[in-house]
Amino acid sequence: MNAPIVNPALTKNQTLVFDALNRAEGPMSAYTILDKLRDHGFRAPLQVYRALDKLTEFGMVHRLESLNAFVACAHRESECCGGSHNHGQGTVAFAICESCNQVIEFHDHEVDHHLGDWAKSKGFKPSKTTIEIRGLCEKCAA
Amino acid sequence: MNAPIVNPALTKNQTLVFDALNRAEGPMSAYTILDKLRDHGFRAPLQVYRALDKLTEFGMVHRLESLNAFVACAHRESECCGGSHNHGQGTVAFAICESCNQVIEFHDHEVDHHLGDWAKSKGFKPSKTTIEIRGLCEKCAA
DNA sequence: TGCCACACGTTATAGCATAACGCAATTGAT
DNA sequence: ATCAATTGCGTTATGCTATAACGTGTGGCA
Ligand SMILES: [Zn+2]
Ligand SMILES: [Zn+2]
Ligand SMILES: [Zn+2]
Ligand SMILES: [Zn+2]
């Protein structure tokens, strides 16, 4: 059994940003987060970006490249790979509804495997892989 | 045999942008393209973005979401799915070297299939899928 | 001829992200 | 305890990415 990364102690700003993302139903841009936190003393984008950098590093927040926005990690203890916020080697993938902005976070080991094989066959050393599916969620497609 | 999409007639601006991307070794941002085309009369970002929109629609150019940049499509006649600029149903994937900025365009039918299965199982209707692997190419990893 | 669709040019503005500075709090030796 | 190194923080300014809104010109076509 692999010890999951222990939840690091968050600073005040990191906590505020993380809580804001968790309260939100969907992804938020850094500037949207900033606006939500003005009442808590936030004045400048860097306060948000610095917190987001750390939270992303901790695996507690993901950046959605196709949206220039951020979401709280949706992994829960019951997930297949165990451990909150521990994505291990696995690549996280996202399905993003363009109608209701819902984001479904998942990972697919088969996809990981095939992309890993491709990389190995080309001698390419991956550092970060982005998989984002834009489309319509079940409700919105109906 | 499936008739590939015929290469559409390009306007002057579209041709200039496409040629600039083809001449470039790697991806370019819209503003970099703008700078390269100032001598050809380009003055404003919209001239570039409008051309890029069309070229992307034609499948002749791809946007790299994780870079906010654009590359000319690297598919050639000899590729597996036949037909230049005809990606059919397949999702295009990119491996991006963070050292030399080389971009390798490929597609992996198995990956497509697995992501398609996932979507079907969730009732999600994909419209566009982004797959980008950041890392080091064979030469730069050595 | 009048209409429509489309490419184009221009100006202005919106939205996303980081550089560079200085200060304060924390940590971890010595 | 003290010094040095690290880290977080706040602020100002700047840079990069993308689109809104307006008007012009042109070619196809009823
Ligand atoms: Zn996650
Ligand atoms: Zn939806
Ligand atoms: Zn292509
Ligand atoms: Zn390289």
| HEC assignment per residue over chain B | CCCCCCCCCCCHHHHHHHHHHHHCCCCECHHHHHHHCHHHCCCCHHHHHHHHHHHHHCCCEEEECCCCEEEECCCCCCCCCCCCCCCCCCCCEEEEECCCCCEEEECCHHHHHHHHHHHHHHCCEEEEEEEEEEEECHHHHC
Minimum CA–CA partner of B118 in chain A: A108
Report whether pLDDT(A95) > 50: yes
Q: What pLDDT score does A78 carry?
A: 52
Q: How confident is the model at residue A75 (pLDDT cuts 50, 70, 90)?
A: confident
Report whether pLDDT(B84) > 60: no
Q: What pLDDT score does A26 carry?
A: 94
Average model confidence (pLDDT) for chain B?
90
Q: How confident is the model at residue A1 (pLDDT cuts 50, 70, 90)?
A: very low
**A107 in any annotated domain:** yes
The parent domain of residue B105 ranges over 12-141
- Tell me the average pLDDT across A71-76: 88
Report whether pLDDT(B80) > 90: no
Q: Nearest nucleotide (C1') to the CA of residue B53?
A: D18
Q: Which candidate, B140, B6, B113, places its Cα nearest to that of A124?
A: B140
**B4 in any annotated domain:** no
- Tell me the average pLDDT across B114-139: 97
CB pairs under 8 A between A and B: 118
**B2 in any annotated domain:** no
Report whether pLDDT(B76) > 60: yes
Q: What pLDDT score does A2 carry?
A: 34
Q: What are phi and psi of A84, to 5 degrees?
A: -70, 145
- Tell me the average pLDDT across B30-39: 97
Whether the CB-CB separation of A92 and A112 falls below 8 Å is answered with no
**Residue with CA nearest to D9's C1' atom:** A47
Q: Which stretches of chain A are DSSP H helices? A: 12-23, 30-36, 45-57, 109-122, 138-141
**pTM for the complete prediction?**
0.92
Whether the CB-CB separation of B33 and B48 falls below 8 Å is answered with yes
Q: What are phi and psi of A60, to 5 degrees?
A: -90, -15
* Token pair of B1 as six digits: 């045999």
- Tell me the average pLDDT across B72-76: 86
Report whether pLDDT(B67) > 60: yes
**B126 in any annotated domain:** yes
**B17 in any annotated domain:** yes
Q: What pLDDT score does B53 carry?
A: 97
Q: Detail the DSSP E strand segments found in A48-117.
A: 61-64, 69-72, 93-97, 103-106
**A4 in any annotated domain:** no
Domain count along chain A: 1
Report whether pLDDT(B96) > 70: yes
Compute the distance from residue A125 Cα to the ligand 4 centre, in Å.
10
Residue B71 sits in a domain whose CATH number is 3.30.1490.190
Q: What pLDDT score does B9 carry?
A: 87
**B25 in any annotated domain:** yes
Q: Which of A20-29, A34-43, A78-87 has the lowest mean pLDDT?
A: A78-87
Nearest to B135 among A65, A108, A127 (CB): A127
Q: What pLDDT score does B140 carry?
A: 96
Q: What pLDDT score does B1 carry?
A: 37
Whether the CB-CB separation of B103 and B96 falls below 8 Å is answered with yes
Q: What pLDDT score does B90 carry?
A: 80
- Tell me the average pLDDT across A108-119: 95
Q: What pLDDT score does A9 carry?
A: 86
**A7 in any annotated domain:** no
